[in-house]
């Protein structure tokens, strides 16, 4: 982990060196003082080259006296001017004086110089021995020994009592050298207290950094404990203060750059302080200083390769050349690939990843990790592509599964960078698989990494863990981001008052930030009345709305919804004048977003500030729209200055007038309010600059009404063709198919799926709880109950209907929409003809749907999920299914309430994971059986079931009752049931005879009653009895076992003849049907007659199953009794 670089010695403003320099000047001969001062000044100016030249001249002058020569060498040593090849000569010169000098101060100064010169050299031991042999070391040599050689025990001994400033200074620097985390800050504090000075403050800051290093070594700074962060903040403030005191001290530069590196260069105050001293930063001291110097604006200190890399970021051609050069190398080291991954485009990354090996000398895990990072970067801009998102998810799964035990060893910097990219891909669940392993369990602070992790937890539905981590974040109430997270969490949990209260705290904390106002506007718009919204909108400062941003434009949207369009109008016109291309998309979204919402009336102004108006005109036949603005404004491609020739001409002309100017003809078509003109300009620009990724299309509708319908049919038929591909694809679960077909409206999707026989549906779930007391509903179960008219049956069984809050809100909005008198939906038939559906059509044709939806809405109870962590595996389907489905699934999991799941695939998965599931087939069947059969109530469900549009629990008794219903519609339904579901119902052993009985009942019921069968406006004008007979007998022959076709048909004839023995006229009609059937199927009438006689004589009665008779007889008796009553 990052640590603070500590350089407490060197060419900084070191008070110890300054004292010795002052001492040397007092000891030196008068003729050497001036040349010495020149050297000292060069050192102060950091001009080492000049200082070395001056010291050579000074040495030449001082050679006449040994002591003077030694003093000059001392200056060289303390000034850092002794080159490696000159150290032996310097040592000899100074050592001679130590052994001969009679002046104790000169001896002390020279001995101190020897200790410094010998540090970390071969002469280190000799210098220490020389010092130890000194019976009474001087203050300078004692300070030097403590600084460079003393151990902790010697330092503690030296500072007992009241040590001199020099001794205490040396002790502090020695403790720093030893990284004595307790002793160094203790002595530095003592030094600053006793001998306060700039140098003492520098040493205190450095010692504070030493004490922090062990804490920084354990965790990344953004994952450290809050108290560590607070200490770093204090150290940062100390560094800024020291920079203000002296911007030339290299020690403070080292410390400051180390601190900003720990902050990941995200400390504006410290960076600003360094920028002011950029000319004094020495890039040779460390790589971090060089980077800081480049960040401050001077990149001359960077290697050429790094400067080329920086240039590639800002120039497309240089970027391409840099990446091409990278590709030309066969393999790369681990540390070399980061810049390429950040620079390369998706195709370049794909080409690189296609290599068998991309790293040289790397471990298997490092290779796998870099491949994962590059793959995520390659797909970063493809959040809307579900295939790519799935591939990224699978890649993350493979990596985390294989290397789970070692994930904590990956540097958090890289992990959180790809976590943010995964979040941008709407894959927070995948991001958590990486970040969770490096998140510590101790107390945290609102750092960028903590915010990223919490955001991923929230969006992945890890609500319990979110609360647990949030509880460990100190200062959560002082972070706008965390207050926002909590506000969103409160809203999702249904505590709107708390959500609004938290948004108010955000405003108090950062009133200058647009987002805090946007958040409050959104909450009030959704959950509060118009009066409360308007009162709050008055509080929004104009200063917040000045600079365009997503949040500011959102605030303007809510202001307009509540009737404050004037504030929005002036801002949009201003922005469109300044940068029309930059704001075109947002203005179109803003304007049409208002058109789909209930909005207070908008009164557009004929002019706004600095914009006199607008005009639509033709210039040489081309239609243009321009804003006419004040001359002082710097306009754009969509403006005209009011005093310009064209501007004056267009202001003068009336609509319809034209005039020539400079060989061009101008004709005014229309004068426009500025806002209206801005919208038209935005529409044109959005259309023109669309690169294909924008779903926006601008079409010119035909002005002739006769051409409008063919135009719409052509456009909508193309969209229908694309939908048909999804409809005809097999093996797609209902929930996934519905979402793909109608992604914008859950209930519309479900309604269309249940009524479309082309869509394959699974059977009703027959696993799970058979006797639930409450069931969780989603859009598909709600609409199933509605279109089958069975909501009341389910309620009559005593079951409570449970829905998530958002589902009830969506249902209420859908019911309101389709019930509105102005509702109209346009579509095309399979033949491509335009068809419309109005509210009156729905009431007339599908009144039962409206009744059932209202019944469910009135009886549904909103239940919110208990605090839980959503299953990350389930989260992978969140975007693939409708929100009502996902919410129902999570509510069922969290509260252990059975889910009425209408998709067999999802139901089986839900049940397999041990979650509560409703046995839909059993529960719905029991609900229907308890209610007397009423064809008028059941016809809707039966038609859809018969057509194969949806599954339906049906008993044999229901089929018999359907057969005896005197209705041509019932006949049609029976015919389609036999055709669509016949094998499924009647193929079991003993069931073919029931099929015969069903046919008999239907024919007998309608015999001589065909006119009575057309009793309702929905009844077909044609009887389907022949269809029932022909398809039914054909199915019977296919299912009734062995023997010839004639034998099996003879069995059917015999069965029906026995049932109709008492009704000779009906029997004759029945026999006529059999004769026509036999001839139509080219059967032998003689063979049928002989088989019939054999059956009648009882020779082959064993072919009729006694068991089937037993099953058929009681049902037939019940139905015959009901038929007679009717």
For 152-183, the pLDDT digits (tens) are: 999 999 999 889 998 999 999 999 999 999 99
- What local confidence, expressed as pLDDT, does residue 81 receive? 72
Q: What is the DSSP string of 534-585?
A: HHHHTTS-GGGGSS--HHHHHHHHHHHHTT-HHHHHHHHHHHHHH-HHHHHH
Please, what is the average pLDDT of the chain? 87
- Hunting for tokens 């960078």 — which residue is that? 417
Q: Pick the range with the lowest mean pLDDT from 531-535, 872-876, 1012-1016, 1099-1103.
A: 1099-1103
Give me the pLDDT at residue 21, please.
67
Q: Given 510, 535, 557, which residue is the final one in a domain?
A: 510
187 and 132: one domain? yes
Q: Where are the beta strands (DSSP E) in 804-899?
A: 824-828, 834-838, 861-862
447 pLDDT tier (thresholds 50, 70, 90): very high
Segment 846-850 long-range contacts (CB within 8 Å, at least 24 positions apart): 846/787, 848/786, 848/789, 848/940, 849/751, 849/783, 849/786, 849/787, 850/815, 850/818, 850/819
Average pLDDT over residues 116-127: 84
Q: In this structure, are 684 and 779 located in the same domain?
A: no
For residue 224, give the DSSP letter.
S
Between 847-859 and 779-787, two packed helices, what is the crossing angle to 10 degrees?
130
Better-scored residue on pLDDT, 15 or 59: 59
Q: Which letter does DSSP use for residue 769 in this model? A: B
389 belongs to a structural domain: no
Q: Are 560 and 568 in contact (CB under 8 A)?
A: yes
The answer to whether 257 and 286 are in contact (CB under 8 A) is yes
Average pLDDT over residues 144-151: 92
Residues 501 and 604 in one domain: no
Cβ(496)–Cβ(486) below 8 Å: no
Mean per-residue pLDDT, 381-409: 90
Res. 949: pLDDT tops 90: yes
Higher confidence at residue 1116 or residue 188? 188
pLDDT at residue 299 is higher than 80: no
701 in a structural domain: no
- Summarize the confidence of residues 393-406 as an average pLDDT: 94
Do residues 783 and 909 share a domain?
yes
Q: Which carries the bigger pLDDT value, residue 503 or residue 637?
A: 503
Per-residue model confidence as pLDDT tens digits over 471-497: 999 999 999 999 999 999 999 999 999
Query: Is position 445 within any domain?
Result: yes
Query: Could you write out the DSSP letters of every residue in 918-969?
Result: B-HHHHHHHHHHTS---HHHHHHHHHHHHTTSS-----HHHHHHHHT---HH
Q: What is the pLDDT of residue 424?
A: 93
Verify that 891 and 964 share a domain, yes or no. no
Task: List phi, psi (to 5°) of 89.
Answer: -65, -40
Q: Residue 695 pLDDT more than 80? A: no
With a CB cutoff of 8 Å and minimum separation 6, the contacts of 779 are 746, 747, 749, 750, 807, 810, 811, 882, 884, 885
Asked if the model's pLDDT at residue 20 lies above 70, the reply is no
Per-residue model confidence as pLDDT tens digits over 317-329: 999 999 999 988 8
Mean pLDDT across 268-272: 91
Residue-level pLDDT at 1099: 45
Looking at the structure, do residues 629 and 727 belong to the same domain, yes or no? no
Q: Which segment of 11-15, 98-102, 262-266, 1032-1036 scores lowest on mean pLDDT?
A: 11-15
Residues 204 and 250 in one domain: no
The verdict on residue 490 lying in a domain is yes
% residues pLDDT > 90 (the chain): 61
Tell me if 1025 is assigned to some domain: yes
Q: Taking residues 532-540, what's their average pLDDT?
A: 97
Residue 722, token pair as written in the block: 């694309």
Q: What does the chain come to in residues?
A: 1126
Of 479, 510, 541, which residue sits at a domain end?
510
Band (pLDDT 50/70/90 cuts) for residue 11 is very low
| pLDDT tops 90 at residue 543 | yes
More confident residue, 241 or 310: 241
Same domain, 764 and 903: yes
Domain ends where: 486, 510, 534? 510
pLDDT category at 1012 given cuts 50, 70, 90 is low
Are both 746 and 728 inside the same structural domain? yes
Among 165-169, 584-588, 812-816, 843-847, which stretch is predicted with the lowest mean pLDDT?
A: 843-847
Residue 99 has pLDDT above 70, yes or no: no
Per-residue confidence (pLDDT) for residue 837, from 0 to 100: 83
The reply to whether 835 and 961 lie within a common domain is no
Q: Which domain holds residue 785?
A: 723-927
Segment 757-784 mean pLDDT: 95
pLDDT, tens only, 590-618: 999 998 887 778 899 999 988 999 999 99
Within-domain flag for 519: no
Q: What angle do CA 616, 622, 626 make, to 5 degrees?
A: 30
Q: Nearest CA to 614 among 679, 675, 685, 672?
A: 672
pLDDT tens across 717-750, in order? 655 555 555 555 667 899 999 998 888 899 999 9
- CA distances 636 to 578, 585, 608, 628, Å, are 6, 17, 17, 11
In degrees and rounded to multiples of 5, residue 952 shows phi and psi of -155, 130
Out of 241-255, 526-540, 828-842, give the one with best mean pLDDT.
526-540
Q: Does 203 lie in the same domain as 243?
A: no
Q: How far, in Å, CA of 998 to CA of 985, rounded?
A: 12
User: How many structural domains compose the chain?
Assistant: 6
997 touches 1112 (CB < 8 A): yes
Paired tokens of 496 = 């709107």
Burial annotation 543-559 (CB, 10 A radius, 16+ → b, else e): ebbeebeebbbbbbbbb
* 915 and 976 together in one domain: no
Q: pLDDT class for 16, splitting at 50, 70, 90?
A: very low
In a domain, 535, yes or no: no
| 263-267 mean pLDDT | 89
What pLDDT does 346 receive? 93
**Separation in Å, CA 411 to CA 84, 418, 428, 801, 1059:** 39, 12, 19, 50, 85
Pick the more confident residue, 595 or 909: 909
Confidence of residue 1104 (pLDDT cuts 50, 70, 90): very low
Mean pLDDT on 134-146: 87
- What is the DSSP pairing of strand 774-776 with strand 664-672? unpaired
pLDDT number for residue 1013: 55
The pLDDT score that the predictor gives to residue 816 is: 92
In the predicted structure, residue 73 carries a pLDDT above the cut 90: no
- Give residue 131's pLDDT: 86
The pLDDT tens digits for 415-424 are 999 999 999 9
Residue at 231 is within a domain: yes
């Amino acid at each position: 982990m990052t640590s603070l670089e500590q350089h407490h010695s060197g060419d900084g403003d070191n008070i110890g060196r300054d004292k010795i320099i002052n001492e040397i000047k007092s000891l030196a001969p008068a003729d050497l003082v001036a040349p010495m001062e020149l050297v000292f000044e060069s050192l102060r100016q950091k001009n080492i080259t000049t200082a070395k030249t001056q010291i050579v001249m000074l040495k030449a002058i001082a050679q006449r006296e040994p002591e003077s020569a030694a003093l000059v060498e001392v200056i060289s040593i303390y000034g850092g001017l002794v080159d490696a090849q000159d150290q032996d000569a310097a040592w000899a010169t100074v050592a001679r004086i130590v052994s001969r000098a009679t002046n104790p101060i000169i001896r002390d100064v020279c001995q101190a110089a020897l200790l410094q010169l010998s540090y970390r050299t071969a002469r280190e031991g000799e210098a220490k021995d020389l010092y130890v042999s000194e019976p009474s070391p001087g203050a300078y040599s004692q300070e030097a020994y403590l600084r460079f050689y003393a151990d902790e025990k010697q330092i503690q001994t030296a500072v007992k009592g009241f040590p001199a400033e020099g001794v205490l200074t040396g002790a502090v620097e020695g403790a720093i050298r030893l990284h004595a985390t307790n002793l160094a800050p203790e002595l530095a504090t003592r030094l600053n207290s006793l001998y306060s000075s700039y140098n003492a403050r520098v040493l205190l800051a450095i010692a504070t950094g030493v004490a922090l290093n062990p804490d920084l070594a354990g965790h990344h700074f953004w994952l450290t404990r809050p108290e560590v962060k607070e200490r770093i903040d204090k150290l940062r403030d100390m560094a800024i203060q020291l920079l203000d005191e002296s911007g030339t001290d290299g020690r403070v530069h080292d410390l400051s750059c180390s601190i900003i590196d720990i902050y990941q260069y995200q400390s504006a105050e410290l960076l600003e302080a360094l920028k002011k001293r950029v000319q004094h930063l020495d890039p040779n001291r460390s790589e971090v200083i060089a980077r800081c110097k480049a960040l401050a604006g001077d990149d001359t200190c960077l290697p050429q390769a790094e400067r080329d890399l920086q240039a590639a970021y800002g120039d497309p051609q240089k970027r391409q050349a840099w990446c091409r050069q990278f590709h030309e190398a066969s393999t790369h080291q681990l540390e070399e690939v980061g810049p390429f991954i950040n620079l390369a485009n998706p195709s370049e990354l794909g080409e690189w990843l296609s290599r068998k090996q991309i790293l040289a000398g790397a471990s298997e895990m490092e290779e796998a990790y870099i491949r994962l990072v590059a793959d995520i970067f390659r797909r970063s801009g493809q959040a809307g592509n579900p295939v790519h998102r799935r591939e990224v998810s699978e890649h993350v799964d493979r990596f985390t599964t294989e290397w789970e035990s070692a994930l904590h060893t990956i540097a958090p910097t890289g992990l959180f960078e790809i976590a943010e990219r995964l979040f941008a891909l709407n894959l927070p669940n995948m991001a958590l698989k990486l970040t969770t392993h490096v998140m510590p369990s101790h107390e945290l602070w609102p750092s960028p990494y903590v915010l990223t992790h919490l955001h991923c937890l929230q969006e992945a539905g890890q609500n319990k863990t979110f609360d647990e981590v949030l509880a460990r974040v100190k200062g959560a109430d002082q972070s706008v981001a965390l207050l926002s997270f909590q506000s969103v969490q409160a809203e999702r949990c249904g505590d709107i008052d708390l959500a609004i209260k938290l948004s108010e705290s955000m405003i108090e904390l950062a009133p200058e930030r647009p987002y805090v106002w946007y958040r409050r506007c959104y909450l009030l718009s959704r959950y509060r009345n118009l009066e409360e919204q308007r009162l709050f909108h008055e509080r929004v400062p104009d200063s917040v709305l000045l600079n365009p941003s997503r949040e500011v434009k959102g605030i303007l949207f809510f202001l307009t919804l509540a009737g404050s369009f004037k504030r929005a109008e002036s801002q949009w016109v201003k922005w469109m004048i300044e940068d029309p291309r930059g704001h075109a998309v947002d203005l179109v979204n803003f304007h049409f977003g208002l058109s789909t919402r209930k909005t207070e009336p908008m009164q557009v102004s004929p002019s706004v500030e600095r914009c006199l108006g607008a005009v639509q005109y033709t210039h040489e036949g081309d239609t243009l729209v321009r804003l006419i603005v004040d001359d002082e404004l710097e306009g754009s491609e969509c403006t005209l200055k009011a005093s310009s020739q064209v501007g004056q001409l267009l202001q003068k002309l009336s609509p319809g007038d034209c005039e020539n100017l400079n060989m061009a003809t101008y004709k005014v078509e229309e004068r426009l309010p500025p806002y209206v003109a801005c919208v038209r300009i935005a529409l044109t620009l959005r259309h023109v600059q669309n690169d294909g990724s924008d779903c926006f299309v601008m079409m010119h509708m035909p002005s002739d009404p006769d051409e409008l319908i063919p135009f719409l049919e052509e456009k909508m038929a193309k969209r229908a063709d694309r939908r048909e591909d999804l409809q005809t694809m097999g093996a797609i679960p209902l929930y996934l198919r519905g979402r793909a077909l109608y992604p914008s409206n859950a209930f519309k999707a479900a309604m269309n799926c249940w009524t479309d026989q082309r869509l394959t549906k699974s059977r009703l779930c027959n696993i799970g709880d058979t006797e639930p007391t409450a069931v969780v509903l989603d859009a598909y179960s709600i609409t199933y109950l509605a279109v089958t008219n069975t909501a009341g049956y389910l309620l009559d069984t005593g079951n409570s209907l449970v829905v998530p809050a958002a589902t009830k809100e969506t249902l209420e909005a859908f019911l309101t929409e389709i019930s509105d008198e102005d509702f109209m939906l346009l579509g095309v038939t399979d033949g491509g003809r335009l068809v419309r559906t109005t509210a009156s059509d729905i009431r007339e044709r599908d009144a039962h749907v409206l009744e059932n939806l209202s019944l469910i809405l009135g009886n549904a109870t909103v239940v919110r999920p208990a605090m839980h962590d959503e299953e990350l595996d389930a989260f992978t389907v969140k975007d693939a299914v409708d929100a009502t489905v996902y919410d129902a699934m999570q509510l069922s999991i969290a509260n252990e309430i059975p889910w009425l799941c209408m998709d067999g695939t999802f139901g089986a998965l839900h049940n397999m994971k041990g979650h509560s599931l409703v046995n839909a087939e059993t529960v719905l069947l029991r609900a229907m059986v308890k209610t007397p059969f009423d064809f008028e109530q059941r016809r809707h469900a039966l038609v859809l079931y018969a057509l194969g549009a949806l599954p339906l629990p049906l008993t044999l008794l229901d089929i018999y009752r359907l057969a005896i219903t005197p209705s041509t519609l019932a006949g049609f339904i029976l015919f389609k049931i036999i055709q669509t579901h016949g094998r499924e119902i009647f193929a079991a052993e003993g069931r073919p005879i029931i099929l015969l009985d069903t046919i008999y009942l239907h024919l007998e019921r309608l015999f001589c009653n065909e006119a009575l069968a057309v009793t309702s406006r929905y009844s077909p004008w044609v009887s389907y009895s022949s269809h029932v007979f022909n398809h039914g007998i054909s199915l019977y022959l296919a299912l009734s076992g062995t023997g010839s076709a004639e034998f099996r048909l003879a069995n059917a004839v015999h069965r029906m003849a026995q049932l109709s023995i008492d009704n000779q006229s009906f029997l004759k009609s029945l026999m006529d049907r059999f004769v026509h059937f036999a001839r139509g199927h080219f059967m032998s009438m003689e063979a049928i007659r002989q088989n019939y006689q054999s059956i009648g004589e009882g020779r082959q009665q064993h072919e009729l199953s006694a068991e089937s008779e037993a099953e058929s007889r009681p049902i037939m008796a019940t139905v015959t009794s009901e038929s007679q009553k009717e």
